[in-house]
Amino acid sequence: MTLAILSALHDEQRGLIEQLYQPYRTLHAGREFWQGQLQGHPVVLALSKIGKVAAATTATALIEKFGARRIVFTGVAGGIGPGVQVGDIVVAHQLVQHDLDASPLFPRFEVPFYGQSGFTADPQLTEQLLQACRAAMVALGQPGKVHHGLLASGDQFVSCAQAAHTLRRDLALAGHDALAVEMEGAAVAQVCHDYGLPFAAVRTISDRADASAHVDFKVFARDVASRYACAIVQALLKSLSIQ
Ligand code: SAH
């Protein structure tokens, strides 16, 4: 059962390609897809590029063309929940599109004709991912926390404390307690929902979505993101059965 590991940025994925056994690269839909094996598991690695549409295109190609039967997103995000600090990890329980607003036709954040705003990540894969993240923190010798909760996705790089506050407050008014903000996860969750395939997502916190976010993000992405992604994926693969 092919596992897809999806990231938005090269820095988030770099180390994984280096470890791929019998790597086979395909160019499709303007993206590189890397098929091969990691720890004996058939995998396909892909970079979505940034944003919800780019992520949805990539997830669809992973499923339709590369036989992905479950998708795990690994990447970085801005922490907006209280106590969600740079270097922490957030594993998604649910994902919501914070910029989706078809009100007054539908409640704010609700995906029209789905009757829901949040997509829940696959419980079993998510539990395995949580355990993998805890193991990865130990392996990396990092003091950061592993959180489990809501990821908010939208087509905005949030780099202003006031904007982050407003976004969190508006989501809270609709009953959503967002821990981190990013730009792809909820789109992939919706695609996996449509295909009935398991999805899980993990984000390492690169910044606090405030005025220094663009600097913090760049440093973190370059220096730390790929080490986290490798350690988490390695630990996850140990717990997945090979099928
Ligand atoms: N110009 C930047 C673009 C980065 S976009 C560059 O140098 O490449 C940020 C990426 O990291 C997105 O893929 C998003 O999912 C995630 N991300 C990290 N911090 C974020 C934040 N504060 N707001 C939104 N997305 C964030």
The first and second tokens of residue 192, run together, are: 């996996």
Q: Evaluate the omega torsion of the peptide bond into residue 107 and state whether it is cis, within 30 degrees of 0.
A: no
Q: Which residues 6+ apart lie within 8 Å of 191 measured at CB?
A: 56, 59, 60, 63
Active site residue 207: yes
- Whole-number Å distance, alpha carbon 50 to ligand 1 midpoint, is 7
Q: Which of 73, 166, 215, 217 should be mutated for ligand 1, with most atoms under 8 A from CB? A: 217
Q: What is the pLDDT of residues 133-145, one digit of tens each?
A: 999 999 999 889 9
Number of Cβ within 10 Å of residue 73's Cβ equals: 29
Active site residue 170: no
Predicted pLDDT at 12 = 86
Q: What is the pLDDT of residues 147-156, one digit of tens each?
A: 999 999 999 9
What is the CATH number that goes with domain 3-241?
Answer: 3.40.50.1580
Percentage with pLDDT > 90 across the chain = 88
